[in-house]
Amino acid sequence: MYSAILDAPIDVTQLLERVNNTRNGATVLFLGIVRDVNDGRDVTGIEYTAYRSMAERELATIIEEAAAIADTNDVAVEHRLGELGIGDCSVAVAVGHPHRGRAFDAARYVIEQLKKRVPIWKREQYLDGTREWVRATSTELVDAGGER
């Protein structure tokens, strides 16, 4: 299990290495990417900030929960902070498991819980020069592990 908050670009290959295991028949990789439009407004970049020490602690807790749910230790997540441009990767989740079902479940659990619980905020920069804090991005569609 591995989790980290980074200021540098996420190295996806290295993250995949962390969940590599000859017992695994499936690896699921989720990448969160900065896109160029949100709520109909043209976005030129996003600044991510965090309550860093708590974010690290909360991320570590989430991957422990995901590992318990999916019965695998091969869970890794990284979230990047700072100024990101369109197309940059802000978050990466990798899960390895003998079978794909549990790997998908665990990856989904990590990203959904991250969006609900980890104290990270983003400020969008718009084409018209203005900036705004994004209110909340958690979706309630799927909650593989139930509420806390």
Partner 1 sequence: MNVTVLLFASYADAIGRSELELDVETGATVSDVIEQVRALGEAGRLPPAPMVAVNEQYASRDRELRAGDEVALIPPVAGG
CA distance 103 to 108: 9
Query: Residue 93 CB, nearest distance to partner 1 (Å)?
Result: 10
Q: Quick one: 6 or 24, whose CB is closer to partner 1?
A: 6
- Residue 52-81 contact track with partner 1, rule CB under 8 A, x = bound: -xxx-x---------------------x--
CA 78, 79, 80, 86 torsion-angle sign: positive
Answer yes or no whether residue 111 interacts with partner 1 by CB under 8 A.
yes
CA 26 from chain centre, in angstroms, equals 19
Q: Quick one: 32 or 96, whose CB is closer to partner 1?
A: 32
Answer yes or no whether residue 135 interacts with partner 1 by CB under 8 A.
yes
Spatial CA neighbour of 134 closest among 47, 50, 59: 47
Choices 10-18, 64-72, 96-104, 115-123 (CB under 8 A): range interacting with partner 1 = 115-123
Using alpha carbons only, give the angle 40, 88, 63 rounded to the nearest 5 degrees. 100
Spatial CA neighbour of 87 closest among 138, 37, 15: 37
Answer yes or no whether residue 119 interacts with partner 1 by CB under 8 A.
yes
Residue ranges binding partner 1 (CB under 8 A): 32, 48-51, 53-55, 57, 79, 90-91, 111, 114-123, 133-138
